[in-house]
Amino acid sequence: MAWARNILRVNLTKGTCANEPLNMEWAQKYLGQRGLATKYLVEETDPKVDPLSPDNKMIMATGPLTGTPASTAGRYSVITKGALTGAIACSNSGGFFGNEMKNAGYDMIILEGKAEKPSYLWIYDDQVEIRDATHLWGKTVWQTEEELRSELGVPDTIIASIGPAGEKLVRFACIMNDLHRAAGRSGVGAVMGSKNLKAIALRGTGGVSLADPQAYMEGQWAMKAKLREAPVTAEGLPMYGTEVLVNVINEHGALPTRNHQETVFAEAENISGETLTETRLVANKACFACTIACGRVTTLPGEAASKYSVTTNPRNWKIAGEGPEYEAAWAMGAECGIGDLDALIKTNWLCNDLGMDSISFGA
């Protein structure tokens, strides 16, 4: 296990940041980031709490393999009482934020209370500060990351932030990290916005410690060999991304279409991973230490970039971004009866930039 054995507890109301030891008994009993953080949430939070009140807590959690070379283990989870459902939310995201958090020496960040004014959290290893984010409030995710990187001036800083949707407490707002990766479900972005927390910027220069590095790496090489041999992880996902599922599921008669009134979409091929790869793909992209690399870097060239009225807003002039994933493809595509891949790509970028869950938005 690669536990840092350390928690960062941030009380935004009091403006305090303190380290405390990870409860290793719980870490062994409630294995994994979701289980462990849920245990902390249940023990520390009144189940009747309003999700958007200062008394609700939000936990950003890594797991026992985060920060190691395990494929797909670089993720982190956000656990809180969700704004959308009123139940325990666990929204997870890929990219590099989870790894950076572990490298900074923290298994979890527990956020409590509400800041008096818009704020962001700056973590550089064991140096932690709550800083003014008034100048960032109202900015989109992409604008926030750009301005924070320039302001901090620390290379390789990783940022998780909310967009205007989270600030305005949209119930399906998400937390975005690495510009395009989303902790998307259950309104965790609204909870973050309710705490007046615009962003968390991280830089970790440490690493992880393993009890038996040799045995662990032997297991990792064996696992990665299996990933290279399996058709889905060796060919399907790296070549076409998660959108490879559009045609597969449509052919099985199970693609959510026109508000679930139908299960087959006649224009599925138009929004499929195959079509995206052939016409709009720039490159595939991997999350930390993952050999699958199913992420999609996409572009809208020429007229494809300017045919939508939303593009008249200067913040939307971008002609490159990431996605969509399969879930966004059915939610904003087939589910809405839309077979225009360019419209789907553009809308997905807008959801990411505004900090809205593309699945809930489509639905």
Instruction: Please compute the mean of the pLDDT values over residues 325-334 and round it to a whole number.
Output: 96
Instruction: Please compute the mean of the pLDDT values over residues 33-48 and round it to a whole number.
Output: 97
Encoding tokens for residue 246? 């559009």
**Lowest-confidence region among 79-88, 145-154, 205-214:** 205-214
The confidence band for 306, taking pLDDT boundaries of 50, 70 and 90, is confident
> What sections of 157-301 are H helices per DSSP?
164-167, 188-194, 213-229, 231, 237-240, 244-251, 273-279
Encoding tokens for residue 322? 């990431």
What values do phi and psi take at 108, rounded to 5?
A: -145, 155
Instruction: Please compute the mean of the pLDDT values over residues 119-138 and round it to a whole number.
Output: 98
Q: How many degrees, rounded to 5, is the angle at CA 326 between CA 70 and CA 265?
A: 155
Q: How many degrees, rounded to 5, is the angle at CA 45 between CA 41 and CA 49?
A: 125
Instruction: Please compute the mean of the pLDDT values over residues 46-63 and round it to a whole number.
Output: 97
Q: Which residues on neighbouring strands pair with residue 81, listed in sequence order? A: 88
Encoding tokens for residue 86? 């009123």
The answer to whether the beta carbons of residues 172 and 363 sit under 8 Å apart is: no
Query: Cα–Cα distance between 348 and 332 in angstroms, integer?
Result: 8
pLDDT tens, position by position, 230-267:
999 999 999 999 999 999 999 999 999 999 999 999 99
Mean pLDDT of the chain: 95
Return the pLDDT at 119.
98
Encoding tokens for residue 24? 């290793």
DSSP characters over 12-73: TTTTEEEEEE--HHHHHHS-SHHHHHHHHHHHHS-TT--TTSTTS-EEEE--TTTTSS-TT-
The alpha carbon dihedral of 159, 26, 187, 134 has a sign of: negative
User: pTM for this one?
Assistant: 0.95
* Alpha-carbon separation of residue 172 from 98, 135, 326, 357, 358 (angstroms): 22, 24, 18, 6, 9
Query: Cα–Cα distance between 347 and 337 in angstroms, integer?
Result: 14
DSSP characters over 296-348: EEEE--GGGGTSSGGGGSGGG---EEE---HHHHHHHTGGGT---HHHHHHHH
Query: Cα–Cα distance between 333 and 257 in angstroms, integer?
Result: 8
The answer to whether the beta carbons of residues 125 and 206 sit under 8 Å apart is: yes
Return the pLDDT at 211.
85
Q: Is the pLDDT of residue 310 over 90?
A: no
Encoding tokens for residue 50? 């309003």
Query: Cα–Cα distance between 346 and 355 in angstroms, integer?
Result: 14
pLDDT > 90: what percent of the chain? Answer: 91
HSE-CB for 318 with a 13 A CA cutoff: 18
pLDDT tens, position by position, 153-200:
999 999 999 999 999 999 999 999 999 999 999 999 999 999 999 999
Q: Is the pLDDT of residue 314 over 70?
A: no
Return the pLDDT at 304.
85
The answer to whether the beta carbons of residues 137 and 118 sit under 8 Å apart is: yes
Using DSSP, state whether 293 is helix, strand or coil. coil
Q: Smallest Cα–Cα separation from 173: which of 239, 55, 89?
A: 89
Encoding tokens for residue 272? 């499929």
Instruction: Please compute the mean of the pLDDT values over residues 310-319 and round it to a whole number.
Output: 71
Instruction: Please compute the mean of the pLDDT values over residues 119-141 and round it to a whole number.
Output: 97
The answer to whether the beta carbons of residues 159 and 144 sit under 8 Å apart is: yes
The confidence band for 312, taking pLDDT boundaries of 50, 70 and 90, is low
The confidence band for 318, taking pLDDT boundaries of 50, 70 and 90, is confident
